């Protein structure tokens, strides 16, 4: 299972988190987020990481040109779209990105019906991600989804579960759902962008038991 730890802002923490077992690190490219870091800061962190790690830039309603420029500057291996990007935007962006760049579309699930929207994207992206809906915040909310409502979600693409996961609730989430990956941010932090390595250690201990 893929394990993505998102909202990395510090090189040393990113490296420790990879050693603990994460398969992917996420970097927030949304300026209004307290976890935002610049493309040059992302590049500096990635340059210091082992090469086989997935590195995902998280965007929300950004222009395609900004995303493509960020991919070039940073060397990220994937792009996560966390806003209201349309299927057509994803289709166009996918055509413009280098073939090897993973395109992830995130959905902030408000009602079980929100899940049906995902089917209109499956032709144009590589991976789906489900996050909790919050009226003011785009992500990193710490709010969980109603996992029971997701049990019927069996998309044709790999999918990742996000939204308020932490060392205490991840086992319960994975007993109800079988995502291809999980994505955590605020549940393993001291403060936004500052990961708590003891919580990350606890997470991986829980996952390996
Ligand atoms: O983390 C942020 O600040 C953020 C800002 C804008 C878009 C997405 C963001 N984070 C995403 O939120 C989920 C995890 O949230 P949490 O575990 O509930 O804190 C993850 O997909 C991040 O990429």
pLDDT for residue 62: 98
What's the half-sphere exposure (Cβ side, CA atoms, 13 Å) at 27? Answer: 29
24 CA distance to ligand 1 middle (Å): 14
CB contact at 8 A, 130 and 160: yes
Ligand 1 site, residue 85, Cβ cutoff 6 A: no
Among protein residues, the one with the nearest Cα to ligand 1's atom 19 is: 140
139 CA distance to ligand 1 middle (Å): 4
88 CA distance to ligand 1 middle (Å): 23
Q: Are strands 102-109 and 54-59 parallel, antiparallel or unpaired?
A: unpaired
CB contact at 8 A, 163 and 143: yes
Give, for ligand 1, the residue of 58, 59, 165, 193 to mutate: max count of ligand atoms closer than 8 Å to Cβ.
Answer: 58
Give the DSSP per-residue string, 181-200: EEEESGGGEEETTEE-HHHH
Ligand 1 site, residue 128, Cβ cutoff 6 A: no
The string of pLDDT tens digits covering residues 79-132 is 999 999 999 999 999 999 999 999 999 999 998 788 999 999 999 999 999 999
Q: Are strands 194-195 and 189-191 parallel, antiparallel or unpaired?
A: antiparallel
Say yes or no: ipTM exceeds 0.90: yes
pLDDT averaged over consecutive 10-residue blocks of the chain (209 residues)?
Answer: 98 98 98 97 96 95 98 98 98 98 96 89 98 91 94 95 98 98 98 98 95
Ligand 1 site, residue 6, Cβ cutoff 6 A: yes
Q: What kind of architecture, by CATH, is found in domain 2-208?
A: Alpha-Beta Barrel (3.20)
Ligand 1 site, residue 189, Cβ cutoff 6 A: no
Residues in the chain: 209
pLDDT for residue 177: 97
Ligand 1 site, residue 5, Cβ cutoff 6 A: no
pLDDT for residue 112: 78
Q: Match 């902030």 to its residue by tokens.
A: 108
pTM of the model: 0.97
Q: Where are the domains of the chain?
A: 2-208
């Amino acid at each position: 299972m893929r394990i993505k730890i998102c909202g990395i802002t510090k090189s040393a923490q990113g490296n420790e988190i990879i050693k603990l077992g994460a398969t992917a690190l996420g970097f927030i490219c949304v300026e209004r987020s307290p976890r935002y870091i610049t493309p040059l800061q992302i590049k500096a962190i990635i340059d210091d990481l082992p090469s086989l790690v997935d590195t995902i830039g998280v965007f929300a309603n950004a222009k395609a040109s900004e995303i493509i420029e960020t991919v070039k500057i940073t060397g990220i291996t994937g792009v996560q779209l966390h806003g209201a990007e349309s299927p057509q935007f994803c289709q166009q962006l996918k055509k413009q990105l280098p073939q090897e760049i993973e395109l992830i579309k995130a959905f902030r699930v408000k009602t079980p019906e929100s899940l049906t929207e995902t089917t209109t994207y499956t032709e144009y992206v590589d991976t789906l991600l489900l996050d909790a809906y919050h009226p003011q915040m785009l992500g990193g909310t710490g709010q969980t989804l109603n996992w029971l409502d997701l049990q019927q979600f069996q998309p044709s693409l790999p999918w990742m579960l996000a939204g308020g996961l932490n060392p205490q609730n991840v086992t319960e989430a994975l007993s109800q759902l079988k995502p291809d990956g999980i994505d955590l941010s605020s549940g393993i932090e001291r403060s936004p962008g500052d990961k708590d390595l003891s919580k990350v250690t606890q997470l991986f201990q829980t996952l390996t038991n």
